[in-house]
Structure 1
Amino acid sequence: MAHSFDLLVIGDANPDVIVGPLRTPIAFGQREHLVDSGSLTLGGSAAITAAGAARLGLRVAIAGRVGDDSAGRFVREALAERGVDTSALAVDPDLPTPLTVILTQDGDRAILTTPGTLAATTATDVPAELLTASKHVHASSYFLMPKLAAELPRLLRLAREHGATTSADTNDDPAGTWDPAGVAALLPETGFLLPNAAEVRHLAGKPSAREAAAALASRGPAVVVKDGDQGAFACADGEVFSAKGIPADAVDTVGAGDSFNAGFIAAMLAGMSLGKSLEFGVACGGLSVRAAGGTAGQPTWDDVLVHLARTGTDPA
């Protein structure tokens, strides 16, 4: 089946304001804090994944919703500049574009997000013709868009019926409920589940990330777990695969997991094995931390191949 796009990403797109690192705890009472740096960048898990995949040479479209405001225009322009098709990024006339402020401290971060259009995003924002015209469909930030989440299994099923492979990265759940029933409905339609180590434990209700990944994998998808500087591992068909992290002098780790997603998906679409796709994804995530923000440091396909060759890894 001919496909117009290699990848359709469904989900969130917003500006990120990244400031830090904080040297002391935040004090209210109109106290002013000075930090070393601040940047305004393209954010949202879906947007960062889409930008990373386009940087790797994939034909990428994004579907979601932004506001009719300067933040929405910033997002659309930033994605278009990176080669992402934004024709399905709907403009809401009433609600504002989401905004995220990220505070960094000691290698960790706090994330503050105003939902804006996220809660209003629905399945009608995802054109059926894009689902059927894409080789792979990836959904991000499941818990931020409850109306879309309720229909996501149906959307992924439609894509699969037209020959697509599928993946999802639920990201964090601000409510802390982790929606067991909704996730249970999502798993059979998801070829690859892409949580981080903390998220997979919450999703499965298990204390160990590997135990949690195995439990979720038994319910359908290959479960691919991002484990920070330890690299990544995957559970699929009763087997466990792993890839070591790469040494990196991180400027900013924001979006590294989304860059991993882009690399992993690109590698799988190129026909690499699950183990090699893990290594490729780890390289993409690790190389992305070279610059501030989620997209400025994202590598090209050749960047990744050079890195893998330098470390003695055969990407074939």
Structure 2
Amino acid sequence: MDVLVVGDANPDLVLRGDVRPRFGQAEQLLTGADLVLGGSAAITAAGCARLGLDTLLLTALGDDVFGVITRQRLEERGVTLLLQPSGDVPTGLSVILTPPGDDRAILTLPGTIPALRPEDVTDAHLSAARHVHVASLYLQPRLAAGLAGVFARARALGVGTSLDTNWDPTEKWESITDILAYTDVFLPNANELRAVTGSTDVDRAAASLVATGTTVVMKNGAAGARAWWPGGECSAPGRPVDVVDTTGAGDSFNAGFLAGRLAGLPIPEAIGWAATAGSLSTRASGGTAAQATRAELA
């Protein structure tokens, strides 16, 4: 396989329109609703497969209707699944409330999302891929506690590593220093980069991580992307599109970058692919309906 993605998979219920709840049994009318593939790892895996990478996803799903839907969506995308047993735990679910404008709220039932453990990522899994990517780290505290060891094993096997933590709901950012010591590419947004390093300036924040050998590729919203690595830095613009839904844009960004690097592109070209993939993914509701093809990026 080209890439092993490790992390969360679940449905997203995306609701649009008059979504700010008014209690007291008041009924409200929506303008749209979609049940789509969710989870940062799942959306990244779907994006990688869409870009022609042989993609393996290690995740946990329940034996319920949400698990069935998630498996179907991933298989339709050409993602190969490695599923960990979840017992009677239900599949996770996110409800995304999208009012008019740029804002949104996310309500998440963790369910199976935190089920993965470091020992679930075996050397056999790592050896089967050229690169391993981990997403939604802080929704998976057991995995986070031992991920440094997983990445150390990957590096010893000659497998590349990348990490998208997403936001830490506890804002403690535990284990991150140890993990980044074995991370080839860190893929935060600007707020996550500041939080991880404790620096308000993104250039200084990135420099502190690059000094340890980590390449930093930062999602920069509509402005595109910036990257810093030992010996260089660059930026890439976003692409103008009619935005329908920004859900999962950062995960499609990750897929674009990984596809570029695994195709042998230098970092400046790979972050161009990433910025374009992130932009194009916003053309439809949900994280995967409008993901870029390789032809669109090329």
Give the TM-score range, shorter chain.
Answer: over 0.9
Q: How does 1:186-201 map to 2 (within 5 A)?
A: 186-201=179-194
Q: Is the 8 A contact 1:66 1:72 kept in 2?
A: yes
Are 2:12 and 1:12 aligned? Answer: no
For residues 22 and 241 of structure 1, the distance between their equivalents in structure 2, rounded to whole angstroms, comes to 41
**Match for residue 27 of structure 1 among 13, 16, 22:** 22
Are 2:153 and 1:158 aligned? Answer: yes
- Matched with 2:172 is 177
For residues 201 and 209 of structure 2, the distance between their equivalents in structure 1, rounded to whole angstroms, comes to 12
Q: TM-score, normalised by structure 1?
A: 0.91
Q: Is the 8 A contact 1:64 1:126 kept in 2?
A: no
Q: TM-score, normalised by structure 2?
A: 0.96
For residues 218 and 108 of structure 1, the distance between their equivalents in structure 2, rounded to whole angstroms, comes to 35
For residues 61 and 247 of structure 1, the distance between their equivalents in structure 2, rounded to whole angstroms, comes to 31
Q: How does 1:212-251 map to 2 (within 5 A)?
A: 212-251=205-244
Q: Is the 8 A contact 1:19 1:35 kept in 2?
A: yes
- Matched with 1:67 is 62
Please report the RMSD computed on the Cα atoms of aligned residues, expressed in angstroms. 1.3
**Match for residue 278 of structure 1 among 271, 276, 291:** 271
- What does the per-residue CA deviation read over 1:121-155, in whole Å, with 9 as the maximum and x for residues that have no partner? 21233232111110010000110001011111111
Are 2:207 and 1:211 aligned? Answer: no
- What does the per-residue CA deviation read over 1:195-254, in whole Å, with 9 as the maximum and x for residues that have no partner? 111111111112223332222222331011001101000111153210011111111110
Q: Is the 8 A contact 1:64 1:125 kept in 2?
A: no
Secondary structure, counterpart of 1:37 in structure 2: strand
Q: Is the 8 A contact 2:9 2:113 kept in 1?
A: no
Structure 2: segments with no counterpart, 5+ residues: none
Structure 1: segments with no counterpart, 5+ residues: 306-316
Instruction: Count residues with an aligned counterpart.
Output: 297
In structure 2, give the amino acid aligned to 1:103. Answer: L
Q: Is the 8 A contact 1:63 1:90 kept in 2?
A: yes
- Matched with 2:252 is 259
Q: How does 1:272-311 map to 2 (within 5 A)?
A: 272-305=265-298
**Match for residue 98 of structure 1 among 92, 116, 127:** 92
Q: Is the 8 A contact 2:239 2:279 kept in 1?
A: yes
In structure 1, give the amino acid aligned to 2:211. Answer: S
For residues 28 and 213 of structure 1, the distance between their equivalents in structure 2, rounded to whole angstroms, comes to 44
For residues 257 and 60 of structure 2, the distance between their equivalents in structure 1, rounded to whole angstroms, comes to 25
Q: Which runs of 4+ in 1 moved over 6 A?
A: none
* Identity %, equivalent residues: 47
Cα deviation, residue 84, structure 1: 0.5
For residues 230 and 32 of structure 1, the distance between their equivalents in structure 2, rounded to whole angstroms, comes to 38
Q: Is the 8 A contact 1:187 1:220 kept in 2?
A: no
For residues 149 and 113 of structure 2, the distance between their equivalents in structure 1, rounded to whole angstroms, comes to 19
For residues 151 and 41 of structure 1, the distance between their equivalents in structure 2, rounded to whole angstroms, comes to 30
Secondary structure, counterpart of 1:289 in structure 2: helix
- Matched with 2:118 is 123
For residues 120 and 246 of structure 1, the distance between their equivalents in structure 2, rounded to whole angstroms, comes to 37
For residues 209 and 19 of structure 1, the distance between their equivalents in structure 2, rounded to whole angstroms, comes to 33
In structure 1, give the amino acid aligned to 2:205. Answer: A
- Matched with 2:83 is 89
